[in-house]
Amino acid sequence: MNYLRSRSLKRLLSIGRRSNPDDDCVVEAEPPPPPPAPSKPAWRCFSYEEVDQATNGFHPDNVVGRGGYGEVYCGILADGRAVAVKRLAAAPADEKKEKDFLTELGTVGHVRHPNVSSLLGCCVDRGLHLVFDFSTRGSVSANLHDEKRPVMTWSQRHGVAVGTARGLRYLHKGYARRIIHRDIKASNILLDADYQPQISDFGLARWLPSEWTHHAIAPIEGTFGCLAPEYFTHGIVDEKTDVFAFGVFLLELISGRKPVDGSHMSLLAWAKPYLKDGVAQGLVDPRLGDAGYDAGQLRRLMFVASLCARSAAAWRPTMTEVLELLESAEISQERWQMPEEVVEEEFWDFDDLTDFEDDDDEDNYDDESDSPSIPSSACSIHAND
């Protein structure tokens, strides 16, 4: 027993003991149980022949998505199961992409939640491949912005908002480890046949130890228009990083506009005046029509979006609080009232990037000039899909 530290030995011997009036010694109460260990991954390794056959030899007609990482193919396994095969782009000695691949495998391979994409397995023969359940309806982005698809109904959008919030809450609080996604956006939220959302693409995700308040990361990565200010300026990452991006995602669901449109004006900058004045009709997607949405739900989503998109991370709600706001019968706006001295900073936006060095707090939400360039040496940001 000499290999046990004295403190560990004392804790070990104290387990199960109960106080007794005849006992001369005082026994401390049992320590709280440790958090549940991460579940064992349920995925398996596929052979190259299996994924090659499923995707018809990675035929171009089977491509359902593209990105900086590579391509996603739809396919059918031998047992008839529909899958999506994510193939890493062939690039010699690309350690960054391999790291993202391993990060996604190590993260999504352990999580289990209805609103988080389910990993079936991987293949490391002739390249790197991830195999997922196929999401029948594609991404939220495709459903919102593809003119060939039917307009998403308000009921579908509201369900996507609540389901995505549940998935994020699970990643932040419901799993054995804290998972920060770092790239919450419409193209990374997939929809099944019933329009139930599933959070996908964990290539940028990070574990956050329970004893850490935040994590400092360099270089900065993510999607322009969705990055929280403390992350963009200082590389600080915690749960509130995802909360900010979720706020932008809510605005996209409400308005049907992309995070950055053709005029280079960010969605948050465009939405600022409507959120400040509470003008719901100006913010909602005109394709829904005047009677195509629930006014109460709309105002609730607007209120939650305004809280999530606050510039100060400390004043944003947690995802647990977001769910309460979305699902509770009543909302106490007084609880979320900010001090007057910080109210003007409540709707920080990327149009203010040029003011960082000058520490200028002037509101520029009417400025429709080109977005400032970002040095590639400072960060790596991919355009919104």
**SS3 (DSSP) at 107:** helix
Tokens 């509201």 correspond to what residue?
Answer: 158
Tokens 């009709």 correspond to what residue?
Answer: 281
Omega cis (within 30) before 32: no
Residue 245 placed within a domain: yes
Contact criterion met (CB below 8 Å) for 224 and 130:
no
State phi, psi for 64 to the nearest 5 degrees: -120, -5
Q: What angle do CA 133, 136, 142 make, to 5 degrees?
A: 115
Q: How many CB atoms lie within 10 A of CB 374?
A: 15
Residue 324 placed within a domain: yes
Tokens 């912005």 correspond to what residue?
Answer: 145
Distance CA 70, CA 94 (A): 12
Pick out the residues of the known binding site: 86
Residue 25 placed within a domain: no
- Lowest-pLDDT range, 107-116, 190-199, 325-334? 325-334
Tell me the one-letter amino acid at 169: R
pLDDT tens for each residue of 295-315: 999 999 999 999 999 999 999
Residue 42 placed within a domain: no
pLDDT tens for each residue of 208-265: 766 555 556 656 676 777 888 877 777 888 999 999 999 999 999 999 999 987 777 8
Contact criterion met (CB below 8 Å) for 194 and 204:
no
- Check residue 205 and report its DSSP letter: -
User: Do both 365 and 262 map to the same domain?
Assistant: yes
User: Do both 128 and 162 map to the same domain?
Assistant: no
Domain of 66 in residue numbering reads as 49-133
Distance CA 185, CA 250 (A): 10
Question: What pLDDT, on the 0 to 100 scale, is given for residue 256?
Answer: 96
Six-digit token pair at 348? 């920080």
User: Do both 277 and 315 map to the same domain?
Assistant: yes
Question: What pLDDT, on the 0 to 100 scale, is given for residue 210?
Answer: 63
User: Do both 196 and 67 map to the same domain?
Assistant: no
User: Do both 111 and 186 map to the same domain?
Assistant: no
Give, in order, the Cα–Cα distances in Å from 273 to each of 212, 278, 346.
Answer: 36, 8, 12
Domain boundary, last residue among 101, 117, 133: 133
- Is the model's pLDDT at 352 over the cut of 60? no
State phi, psi for 352 to the nearest 5 degrees: -95, 10
Choice between 151 and 335, residue whose per-residue pLDDT is larger: 151
User: Do both 114 and 182 map to the same domain?
Assistant: no
Question: What pLDDT, on the 0 to 100 scale, is given for residue 152?
Answer: 97
Pick out the residues of the known binding site for ATP: 86
User: Do both 265 and 375 map to the same domain?
Assistant: yes
* 183 catalytically annotated: yes
**SS3 (DSSP) at 317:** coil
Domain boundary, last residue among 104, 133, 162: 133
Tell me the one-letter amino acid at 209: P
Among 52, 183, 201, 285, the active-site one is: 183
Domain boundary, last residue among 100, 118, 133: 133
User: Do both 216 and 349 map to the same domain?
Assistant: yes
Six-digit token pair at 143? 């459903």
CATH code assigned at 184: 1.10.510.10
pLDDT tens for each residue of 40-74: 567 789 999 999 999 999 999 999 988 667 789 99
User: Do both 232 and 129 map to the same domain?
Assistant: no
